[in-house]
Amino acid sequence: MTSTVDGRSPGLALPKSELLEMYRRMVLIRRFEEAAAEQYALGKIAGFLHLYIGEEAVAVGAIHAMDERDHLVTHYRDHGYALALGLDPGRCMAELFGKSTGLVGGRGGSMHFADASKNFWGGYAIVSGHLPIAVGLGLASQYLDERRVAVAIFGDGATNAGPFHESMNLAALWKLPVLFLCENNLYGMGTAVEHASAVREMARKACAYDIPAERVDGQDVLAVYEATRAALEHCRSGKGPFFLEALTYRFRGHSMADPEMYRSKEEIEEYRRQRDPIVLFRNRLTQEGKAEAAEFDEIDREIDEVVAAAVRFADESPDPDPETVTDYVYAEPVRVS
């Protein structure tokens, strides 16, 4: 497994502004998710809400390594990717609120973020169902000779479903520029990996398709960044797909209604205390003399304001116009009754 915590990390050579931007985006995701949980409790957000708290380093590290022309297709725990891509937190929050100013006008809510300007093809709530789309994006990229990589993010649970295997085979068979990025957070809903998957290391599943694979410490944003960069280079150079497994952990329940009987309080506490990706990164940058406490504190303060403003924006935005409920089903409205 690649980890930079104890070793040298080429990522540290990034300009300070970039390092602090990575810190900033992780804090933004954390605070955004906390605010979303509060707004859910207040009834401003409805339905099903899945938080990314604890896994911030995966989205931020991977997306920082991506070219802005690369494609991103993800599963439903998707707020973190949108924020890591730099999408407006107000429009993200408005989508959760179901407001007309949301990323997709309030049509989808939490699990269905998308934004064409960032080549973010969206969060998909049918687990594993988005992976063939990444294959198609990779095929289009190859066909058009664009050297763009399609990055697909999914969980450990998704690797047990058919579309995952069909996608891996096609991507390998046709040598497509697809990066399969698996977030192994040890659980799929209430089921631990060892009860759901015949192999515990997701990366081992890649060998059936002869896809090169690597495991990386998903709590270490620089390790994720470096591993993703190398993987993207592989894909971009025409060598076919790559499989990256990021070992991570979600600090909150699967969704807002999760009694969490499948894991112990001690386990959760241990991860929160020892493996918080934001704390780890902040400590690392401090130790390396990259930034000082006051600089981090300033970012933290700024993010508090950004998130408060996002909630205000969402709250004050109008509901969608009832007239628009039938929009975007077809290119031109069709008469069916």
Partner 1 sequence: MATLTMVQAIARTLAEEMSRDERVVVLGEDVGKRGGVFLATEGLLERFGPDRVIDTPLSEAAIIGAAVGMAAHGLRPVAEIQFADYIFPGFDQLATQAAKLRYRSGGQFTAPMVVRMPSGGGVRGGHHHSQSPEAHFAHTAGLKVVVVSTPYDAKGLLKAAIRDDDPVVFLEPKRLYRATREEVPDDDYVVPIGKAAVRREGTDLTIIGYGTSMPEVLKAGDELAKAGISAEILDLRSLVPWDIEAVMRSVAKTGRVVLVADAPRLSGVLGEIAATIAEELFDQMLAPPVRVAGFDTPYPYAQDKLYLPTVTRILNAAKQVLEY
Ligand X SMILES: Cc1ncc(C[n+]2csc(CCOP(=O)(O)OP(=O)(O)O)c2C)c(N)n1
| Binding to partner 1, residues 173-192 (CB under 8 A) | 188-191
Answer with the entry of Mg ion, ligand X, partner 1, none that 329 interacts with (C-beta below 5 to 8 A by kind). Answer: partner 1
Question: Is residue 49 within 8 Å of residue 37, measured between CB atoms?
Answer: yes
| Segment (H or E) for 120 | strand 120-124
Please say which residue, 152 or 158, places its beta carbon nearer to ligand X: 158
Among 98, 155, 177, 218, binds Mg ion (CB under 5 A): 155
**What's the CA gap between 29 and 89, in Å, rounded?**
9
Question: Is residue 4 within 8 Å of residue 222, measured between CB atoms?
Answer: yes
Using rule CB under 6 A, residue 105 touches ligand X: no
Using rule CB under 8 A, residue 336 touches partner 1: yes
Q: Identify the three-state secondary structure at position 124.
A: strand
Question: Is residue 292 within 8 Å of residue 285, measured between CB atoms?
Answer: no
Tell me the torsion sign for CA atoms 297, 303, 304, 306. positive
| 7 CA to centre of own chain | 26
**What's the CA gap between 299 and 59, in Å, rounded?**
19
What is the 8-class DSSP label of residue 2?
A: B
Q: Which range touches ligand X (CB under 6 A), out of 15-23, 123-131, 222-230, 233-241?
A: 123-131
Residue 240 — left, alpha, or beta (φ > 0 → left; ψ -120 to 50 → alpha)?
left
Using rule CB under 6 A, residue 187 touches ligand X: yes
What is the 8-class DSSP label of residue 335?
A: -
- Count of residues engaged in binding partner 1, rule: CB under 8 A: 46
Among 103, 134, 137, 158, binds ligand X (CB under 6 A): 158
Using rule CB under 8 A, residue 5 touches partner 1: no
Question: Is residue 110 within 8 Å of residue 193, measured between CB atoms?
Answer: no
Provide the minimum distance between the beta carbon of 218 and ligand X in the complex, in angstroms, as a whole number: 11
Please say which residue, 44 or 272, places its beta carbon nearer to partner 1: 44
| Binding to Mg ion, residues 175-214 (CB under 5 A) | 185, 188
DSSP bridge pairs for 115: 120
Among 161, 256, 268, 291, binds partner 1 (CB under 8 A): 161
Q: Identify the three-state secondary structure at position 261.
A: coil
Please say which residue, 49 or 227, places its beta carbon nearer to partner 1: 49
Among 69, 195, 239, 301, binds partner 1 (CB under 8 A): 195
Provide the minimum distance between the beta carbon of 185 and ligand X in the complex, in angstroms, as a whole number: 5
Q: Which range touches partner 1 (CB under 8 A), out of 41-49, 218-226, 265-273, 308-316?
A: 41-49
| Segment (H or E) for 221 | helix 221-236
**What's the CA gap between 207 and 133, in Å, rounded?**
22
Please say which residue, 79 or 99, places its beta carbon nearer to ligand X: 79
Provide the minimum distance between the beta carbon of 180 and ligand X in the complex, in angstroms, as a whole number: 13
Among 2, 4, 9, 128, binds partner 1 (CB under 8 A): 128
Using rule CB under 6 A, residue 189 touches ligand X: yes
**What's the CA gap between 315 and 99, in Å, rounded?**
8
List the x/- string, 38-77, binding to ligand X by CB under 6 A: ---------------------------------------x
Q: Identify the three-state secondary structure at position 117.
A: helix
Q: What Rg do the C-alpha atoms of the chain give, in angstroms?
A: 20
Question: Is residue 187 within 8 Å of residue 263, measured between CB atoms?
Answer: yes
Binding site for Mg ion (CB under 5 A): 155-156, 185, 188
> What residues line the site for partner 1 (CB under 8 A)?
46-48, 76, 98-100, 102, 105-112, 124-129, 157-158, 160-163, 188-191, 195-197, 259, 261-262, 319-320, 322, 325-326, 329, 336-337
Q: Which residues bind ligand X (CB under 6 A)?
A: 77, 125-127, 154-158, 183, 185, 187-189, 254
